[in-house]
Amino acid sequence: MADLRELYQEVILDHSRNPRNFRKLESADRFAEGSNPLCGDRIALFLNLDGGRIAEVGFQGQGCAISKASASMMTASLEGKSEDEARALFEKFHAMVTGTGPADKESLGKLAVFSGVSEFPARVKCASLAWHTMRAAIDRKANVTME
């Protein structure tokens, strides 16, 4: 079990140091900004849709390793998803990190590395900031603040 945790930490460190899709999308179809004042995490999320599916995702921002890794891994998991599928993934991820629902680790794939976050209430907002921002972008809300 300890080895598994180390592996999880490695994945999170890798994504926080080398975030995927860390770029602004010019002329994005959807855009939202999110902030988590408690930790100082900020994110800007850009989505491009094609035929009702998320074709391109980009994000920018600054924050702690957890928030950056979560945003990075989220962008990788969103490509090709419909808006409804992205919302459903939000619900699963949110239930996992808040510990409010059964962790559907199989369908969450690599995102399951964040399951340990539920044991650290202060980090839950760091891990879910990008996801709240993504849902705001899909729902055409300009910004979201974690409270």
- Interacting residue with Zn ion among 126, 127, 137, 146 (CB under 5 A): 126
Q: Is residue 33 at the binding interface for Zn ion, with CB under 5 A as the rule?
A: no
CB of 80 to Zn ion, least distance (A): 28
Measured over the CA atoms of residue 89, residue 146, residue 41 and residue 11, the dihedral's sign is negative
Query: Which one of 16-24, 31-39, 71-79, 89-97 is the stretch in contact with Zn ion (CB under 5 A)?
Result: 31-39
Q: Is residue 65 at the binding interface for Zn ion, with CB under 5 A as the rule?
A: no
Short-list 97, 130, 127, CA closest to 12:
127
Q: Is residue 35 at the binding interface for Zn ion, with CB under 5 A as the rule?
A: no
Q: Is residue 19 at the binding interface for Zn ion, with CB under 5 A as the rule?
A: no
- Interacting residue with Zn ion among 11, 49, 55, 64 (CB under 5 A): 64
- Show the beta-strand stretches assigned E in the chain: 30-36, 41-50, 53-62, 143-145
Query: Which one of 58-66, 86-94, 99-107, 111-119 is the stretch in contact with Zn ion (CB under 5 A)?
Result: 58-66
Size of the site for Zn ion (CB under 5 A): 5
b/e per residue 87-102 (b: at least 16 CB within 10 A): eebbebbbbbbeeeee
> If DSSP codes are grouped into helix, strand and coil, which group holds residue 40?
coil
d(CA 79, CA 65): 22
User: Of 41 and 78, which has the nearer Cβ to Zn ion?
Assistant: 41
- Interacting residue with Zn ion among 41, 89, 96, 131 (CB under 5 A): 41
Q: Which residues pair with 34 in a beta bridge?
A: 43, 144
Q: Which residues bind Zn ion (CB under 5 A)?
A: 39, 41, 64, 67, 126
